[in-house]
């Protein structure tokens, strides 16, 4: 796994996709333009967050369906879809459809657990089954089965002029191998490994064996691979918040440093009853950030990343950050950009959102 002499294999990024409640289209268009920019810069993957009843992307699968028609190469992921809000059969149909549209580029990330603030939303979400819904791993197993093409119905055949299948349609071969589990605990890491999934790690972990974030993340990744059929070859992607400042203006640098400083206190000790640990945001020039990553026990276990963009910056900030990641930090980590699908290889990335 990456040491200073070993190259990073895959470089991606994650965006939350904020929008204005009074005029939501520009925010969604900006998210799509950021994904397009990522492809132009040679990123391997672009991921979108999932936010229900908030002013961020509530339907990442729909957004990525649009992204499939604006991109040709970059992989498209969700980080993550909380399955407590979803019907696994219907979600399997949506995921397979978007994967077909993308040409096999979809990387769905999922997680389990009750929906956030469940007591306030359960009557709207599950009015007839709120107290009996199972929000555990069985929900993931149902999704896995449907995506893999196992039976979803006891009937197949023809009724009149209509044909019916007993499995989810369309079936997208290979999608099951691109399903990711977003885990923050040892139990989740082990479960994901036992069920042959890929593992998404982020800037949040559960403090179980240590109060050192990097040590916790390293332990979870090793537990995942120890229980995975592919062992050391099992895929893990790390998602820290990384903000390079190589081409940033003085004003941008000050904003980035203030943002990170405001979030640093929560990284000192476990937070809340669940004892969640948060990683420090990495801000600085690319050489400095690369040195910090190579010293990070969790990073040393992976050869692919999806660096998270900060929540509330301006579009121009994201353009600068992504450009520095692709042109400065990535090469510092030994990464090489993928070839742009554009027929005009000399075209420069756009700094303005699509209209």
Q: In this predicted model, what pLDDT tens digit does every residue of 199-218 receive, in sequence order?
A: 999 999 999 989 999 999 99
pLDDT of residue 350 exceeding 80: no
Q: Is 89 exposed, middle or buried (0-12, 13-18, 19+ CB in 10 A)?
A: middle
Q: For residue 1, how far is the Cα from the chain centroid? A: 21
Asked whether 322 and 37 are in contact (CB, 8 A), the reply is: yes
Query: Tokens representing 30?
Result: 């900006």
Q: Is 160 left (phi over 0), alpha (psi -120 to 50) or beta?
A: left
Q: In this predicted model, what pLDDT tens digit does every residue of 123-176 receive, in sequence order?
A: 999 999 999 999 999 999 999 999 999 999 999 999 999 999 999 999 999 999
Q: In this predicted model, what pLDDT tens digit does every residue of 264-300 receive, in sequence order?
A: 999 999 999 999 999 999 999 999 999 999 999 999 9
Asked whether 292 and 282 are in contact (CB, 8 A), the reply is: yes
DSSP code of 231?
Answer: G
Give me the domains of the chain, ranges plus CATH numbers.
Answer: 10-153+163-250+276-332 (3.20.20.30)
pTM: 0.93
Q: In this predicted model, what pLDDT tens digit does every residue of 60-79 receive, in sequence order?
A: 999 999 999 999 999 999 99
Question: Average model confidence (pLDDT) for the chain?
Answer: 94
Asked whether 7 and 334 are in contact (CB, 8 A), the reply is: yes
What Å distances lie between residue 195 and 77, 181, 251, CA to CA?
20, 10, 47
Q: In this predicted model, what pLDDT tens digit does every residue of 294-317 receive, in sequence order?
A: 999 999 999 999 999 998 899 999
pLDDT value, residue 3: 61
Query: Tokens representing 216?
Result: 């916790």
pLDDT value, residue 4: 56
Asked whether 207 and 274 are in contact (CB, 8 A), the reply is: no
């Amino acid at each position: 796994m990456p040491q200073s002499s070993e190259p990073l294999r895959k470089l991606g990024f994650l965006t939350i996709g904020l929008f204005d409640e009074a005029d939501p289209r520009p925010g969604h268009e900006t998210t799509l333009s950021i994904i397009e920019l990522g492809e132009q810069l040679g990123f391997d993957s672009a991921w979108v967050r999932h936010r229900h009843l908030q002013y961020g992307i509530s339907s990442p699968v729909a957004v990525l369906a649009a992204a499939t028609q604006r991109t040709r190469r970059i992989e498209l992921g969700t980080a993550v879809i909380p399955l407590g809000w979803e019907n696994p059969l219907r979600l399997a149909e949506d995921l397979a459809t978007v994967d077909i549209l993308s040409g096999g580029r979809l990387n769905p990330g999922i997680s389990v657990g009750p929906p956030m603030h469940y007591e306030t939303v359960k009557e709207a979400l599950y009015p007839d089954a709120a107290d009996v819904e199972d929000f555990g791993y069985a929900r993931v197993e149902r999704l896995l089965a449907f995506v893999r093409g196992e039976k979803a119905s006891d009937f197949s055949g023809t009724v009149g002029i209509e044909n019916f299948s007993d499995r989810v349609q369309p079936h997208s071969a290979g999608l099951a191998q691109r399903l990711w589990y977003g885990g923050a605990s040892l139990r989740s890491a082990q479960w994901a490994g036992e069920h042959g999934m890929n593992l998404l790690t982020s800037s949040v972990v559960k403090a179980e064996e240590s109060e050192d974030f990097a040590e916790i993340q390293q332990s979870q990744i090793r537990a995942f691979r120890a229980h995975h059929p592919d062992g050391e070859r099992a895929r893990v992607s790390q998602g820290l918040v990384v903000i390079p400042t190589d081409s940033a203006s003085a004003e941008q640098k000050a904003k980035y440093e203030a943002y990170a400083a405001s979030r640093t206190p929560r990284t000192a000790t476990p937070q809340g009853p669940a004892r969640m640990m948060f990683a420090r945001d990495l801000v600085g020039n690319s050489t400095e950030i690369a040195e910090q990553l190579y010293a990070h026990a969790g990073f040393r276990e992976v050869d692919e990343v999806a660096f998270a963009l900060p929540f509330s910056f301006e579009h121009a900030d994201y353009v600068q950050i992504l450009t520095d990641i692709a042109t400065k930090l990535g090469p510092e980590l030994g990464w090489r950009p993928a070839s742009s699908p554009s027929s005009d290889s000399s075209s420069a990335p756009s700094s303005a959102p699509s209209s």
